[in-house]
Structure 1
Amino acid sequence: MSKLVDFFNRFPFLKAADIAEIEKIAVKRTYKAGEEFIQLGATRKKIGIIETGLIRGYSIKTSGEEVSVIFAKEGEIASTHELIFYNQPSRQIVEFLEPTTMLVFDYRDIERLAVDNPRVEQMRNQFIQDFLVKVLHRLETFLIYTPEERYLWLIKEEPSLMQRVQQKHLASFLGITPVSLSRLRSRMSKK
């Protein structure tokens, strides 16, 4: 499970014994594009670390329209905030956009390890902090940036998504229609 070790090397305070303990609770799984990792209303507190592949977290409006909320790729976490932070049924669906290999955990197992191991607790807190920063930055882009600025931000921060994600999913992530995204891309290519 070298990808797991690579991932946890981001947390230099973890010792080899901590990583070995965490490895024991991980299950390596492979999914096909189109499969769901977390279904609407799911209550199982699962979390995945993506080795290879890409996921999309999305919500469904009352109109039935899908809204892409988050994308996660190699080395990133896949889950929903309701399951992890609020212990409530998921209001989002997490689906695989590409064939994906992940290391899957029951988040409760991580919580149990954290009770007795302050370094695992520190890692868990870092997960939460990183997630919060990502969510707050995304919120800020919607409050402050124009659609064009959000598009430029996405190109700068997540350039690989431009090639890997369907236009309709990118558009909903940016808060615009696919037609508006097409026009925006056309306008940007002329600059």
Structure 2
Amino acid sequence: METLFRFFAQFQPLPTEAQAAIREICSVINLKKNEELQPIGHTCRTIYFVKKGIARIYYYKDGIDITESFSFENSIIARVESLFTTKPSRKAIQIVEDAELIAINATQLFRLYDIHPSIERLFRKIFEKGYVETVNRMESLQFHTAEERYSALLHEAPDLLRRVPLKYIASFLGITQVSLSRIRATLK
């Protein structure tokens, strides 16, 4: 759990009582590569902290598997549109590399907001960061070439190619695997 609280401290340190309250609503889960953390159609009621491994959010469009995002060590993953609306998600979370996650019960977490305002502030900051990342991702797809998106991805996650299948990287970049191979060949 200490890794989780170090992650939180990047946003805001929590008082001891707030940390204890969060510990009470957390559990550790381990999943193997290719296992589903949350399937399509699931209503998200859990926020996950990736302690070890990689997870991805994906969906199907016209029968094609599209990767929306990756979450590496020391990051949060959740289907927030489902979490906040309590409606089933059209997206899934899959484990890309054997993972250890800390599951935070969101229903209980939201109850803690009234008791511990520092927890509410912390998660507001975490969700704000996630929102900005989503906007940046959309703008990247709108304004940058595939080559620029690939270079930026490698800069952000240098060991990505070693850890994630190329088909997931290509779909994340919004291109085919053939196009990704061509880009990789020209940038060597």
TM-score by length of 1: 0.94
- Contact persistence 2:46–2:103 (CA under 8 A): yes
Indicate whether 1:73 and 2:94 are aligned: no
Which string of whole-angstrom CA distances, capped at 9 and with x for unpartnered residues, describes residues 60-82 of structure 1?
A: 01x21010000001111121122
Which string of whole-angstrom CA distances, capped at 9 and with x for unpartnered residues, describes residues 155-186 of structure 1?
A: 11222222211000000000000000001000
Aligned to 1:37: 37
- Give the Å deviation of 1:130: 1.0
Aligned to 1:10: 10
- Give the Å deviation of 1:43: 1.3
**In structure 2, what residue type is equivalent to 1:167?**
L
Aligned to 2:125: 126
- Give the Å deviation of 1:5: 2.4
Aligned to 1:92: 91
- Give the Å deviation of 1:41: 0.6
- Contact persistence 1:82–1:91 (CA under 8 A): no
SS at match of 1:9: helix
Which string of whole-angstrom CA distances, capped at 9 and with x for unpartnered residues, describes residues 100-140 of structure 1?
A: 00110121111110122110110110121011011001001
- Give the Å deviation of 1:88: 1.5
**In structure 1, what residue type is equivalent to 2:11?**
F
Distance 2:146 2:72 in 1: 23
- Give the Å deviation of 1:46: 1.1
Distance 2:96 2:10 in 1: 25
Distance 1:40 1:11 in 2: 30
SS at match of 1:43: coil
Which ranges of structure 2 fall in alignment gaps of 5 or more residues? Answer: none
Q: 6-15 vs 156-165, which deviates more?
A: 6-15
What percent identity do the matched residue pairs reach? 32
SS at match of 2:37: strand
- Give the Å deviation of 1:92: 0.7
Which ranges of structure 1 fall in alignment gaps of 5 or more residues? Answer: none
Distance 1:96 1:55 in 2: 4
Q: Report the structure, 1 or 2, having the larger strand content.
A: 2
Distance 1:160 1:83 in 2: 30
Alignment coverage as a number of residue pairs:
188
Distance 2:88 2:163 in 1: 29
Question: What does residue range 87-166 of structure 1 map to in structure 2 within 5 Å?
Answer: 87-166=86-165
Q: 153-162 vs 52-61, which deviates more?
A: 153-162
Distance 2:171 2:18 in 1: 40
